[in-house]
Amino acid sequence: GDFPIETDTIVIGAGPGGYVAAIRAAQLGQKVTIVEKADLGGVCLNVGCIPSKALITASHRYETAKHSDNIGITADNVSVDFSKVQEWKGQVVNKLTSGVGGLLKGNKVDIVKGEAYFVDENTLRVMDESSAQTYTFKHAIIATGSRPIEIPSFKYSKRIINSTGALNLPEIPKKLVIIGGGVIGVELGTAYANFGTEITILEGSSELFAGAFEKQMTSVVVKNLKNKGAEIVTSAMAKGAEEKEDSVVVTYEANGEEKTIEADYVLVTVGRRPNTDEIGLEQVGIKMTDRGVIEVDQQCRTNVPNIYAIGDIVPGPQLAHKASYEAKIAAEAIAGEPSEIDYLGIPAVVFSEPELATVGYTEKQAKEEGLEVVAAKFPFAANGRALALNNTDGFLKLVTRKEDGVIIGGQIAGASASDMIAEIGLAIEAGMTAEDIALTIHAHPTLGEITMEAAEVALGTPIHIM
């Protein structure tokens, strides 16, 4: 029998949901404990957003070094030292995760290493390898995140890998089959295609991203992947894999035909399931869907009033910035503030080549909701900076309400879409109109001028296209 430790707010999981919740709760004057069974920073910092972007950067440097002859640059003997790439990627991750540790300590958050399990609605048990400790709390925020789904015919092994395995391969594969053409599959596929791997993407639906992005956007990425030599098979049904001595043979069905394909590895990226199955949620009667997603209200409160849930375990897109956004709402709600979720301004980005980004409504979604909209498009190819960057693929689209010009959405396929989408997000958040963006002076020559020009298109007065 141990003596329970008392705390105001206990946070379970230290990913972009949990660590942000802990910091905000501490800022608001609570005594906060955060429990993490693995590494600070969660999936995002350790095996998600950050290492994948580092890999994409390295692969892109390599690819552009090799293929810039069209602008007069030729380089001989460009090579990759993959273990050095991995080492650099590890340094980036370590800098960030130790930064999170410093921030938590600086905010006087008590960091506990171990696996948390609910005993009742005010008690949590934390187990370490050798010990166990009980904590009592007034409020809890569950932020346990998600893990890759495993499909029975593709049990993870040495050559059947998930995203974590793909981030940590010992060498650049010659051939990689990717099952699932979603965001993670496309990003990792892009990285390895740049490194020279022959990739094949098997996607179950008729389009990459299962139609989550507009066809016009997706096709920009498909064209680029094909230029890299990637094969993309849509409406493909992956059936099984047979592991050999130093390869794996994947069987799939497409166009009514059964086919096989041999590769060094098969990467399975078919979705992620919430980590809500082994934390004692039954003990407290927390309501979940049959897929283990926790139901929450506008303040991220579960059906048990003093317990909140955020991030990948609650409905909505599984994105780091969504987790962090909900984290602040939950911590503020616990402190008695009237904060509430508004998902309209949450952007979604694919770090493909070129990048894809969307925020708010698409034209189609707006129309489906009966809104009358003006969708104004401007191509990257008509922008001076895009030309001078040798990145002319893609377009930007602004979705405005017809009656008053208020911006309700935007989509970008093109270089730096991930950064450019922030301006449209701000416009939505602030209730700005196309005229507000058109009147904002954007520096020349910048990609930001594309947003300004699209706003001019919405007003019917573009300068640089007819």
The catalytic site residues sit at: 444
Per CB under 6 A, does 279 bind ligand FAD? yes
Among candidate residues 287, 288, 258, the one with its CA nearest the CA of residue 273: 288
At position 82, the amino acid (one-letter code) is F
Cβ(451)–Cβ(434) under 8 Å?
no
Check whether the bond before 305 is cis (ω within 30° of 0).
no
Collapse the DSSP code of 308 into the 3-class scheme (helix H, G, I; strand E, B; otherwise coil) and give the result: strand
Among 59, 97, 275, 416, binds ligand FAD (CB under 6 A): 275
Type and span of the H or E element at 222: helix 215-227
| Residues contacting 94, CB < 8 A, separation 6+ | none
* Identified binder of ligand FAD from the candidate list 56, 58, 184, 217, rule CB under 6 A: 184
Token output for 318: 């599984």
| Minimum distance, C-beta of residue 69 to ligand FAD, in the bound complex (Å) | 31
**Considering only 34-42, 81-89, 374-382, 457-465, which stretch makes contact with ligand FAD by CB under 6 A?**
34-42
The binding track of 326-355 with respect to ligand FAD, each residue x by CB under 6 A or -, is -------------------------x----
Nearer to ligand FAD by Cβ, of 185 and 414: the residue is 185
Nearest distance in Å: CB 16, ligand FAD: 5
Q: Per CB under 6 A, does 464 bind ligand FAD?
A: no
Q: Binding of ligand FAD at residue 319 (CB under 6 A)?
A: yes
Q: Is residue 144 near ligand FAD by the rule CB under 6 A?
A: yes
Return the exposure string of 121-143: e unless at least 16 CB atoms fall within 10 Å of the residue's CB, then b: bbbbbbeeeeeebebebebbbbb
Task: Return the structure tokens found at 450.
Answer: 């594309």
189's CB contacts (< 8 A; 6+ apart) are 176, 178, 181, 199, 201, 225, 230, 267
Residue 321 contacts ligand FAD per CB under 6 A? yes
Best CA proximity match to 22, nearest among 147, 145, 140, 146: 140
Cβ contacts of 336 within 8 Å, gap of 6 or more:
none
Q: Is 185 in the site for ligand FAD (CB under 6 A)?
A: no
Applying CB under 6 A, the span of 6-14, 242-250, 256-264, 282-290 interacting with ligand FAD comes to 6-14
Of 38, 41, 39, the residue nearest 23 (C-alpha):
41
- Give me the least distance between CB of 349 and ligand FAD, in Å please: 6
Q: Are 109 and 26 in contact (CB under 8 A)?
A: yes
**Binder among 9, 26, 30, 48 for ligand FAD (CB under 6 A):** 48
Give least dist CB 259 to ligand FAD, A.
27
Residue 320 makes contact with ligand FAD by CB under 6 A:
yes
The tokens for 249 are 């043979």
Considering only the stretches 15-23, 132-140, 403-411, 437-445, report the one whose residues sit in contact with ligand FAD under the rule CB under 6 A: 15-23
Backbone phi, then psi, for 312, in 5-degree steps? -65, -15
**Contact between 119 and ligand FAD (CB under 6 A)?**
no
The Cα 66–Cα 68 span in angstroms is 6
Least Å distance, CB 163 to ligand FAD, is 4
User: Which of residues 203, 264, 312, 363 is near ligand FAD by CB under 6 A?
Assistant: 312
Q: Give the binding site for ligand FAD (CB under 6 A).
A: 12-18, 35-38, 42-44, 48-49, 52, 115-116, 143-146, 163, 184, 275, 279, 311-312, 318-321, 323, 351
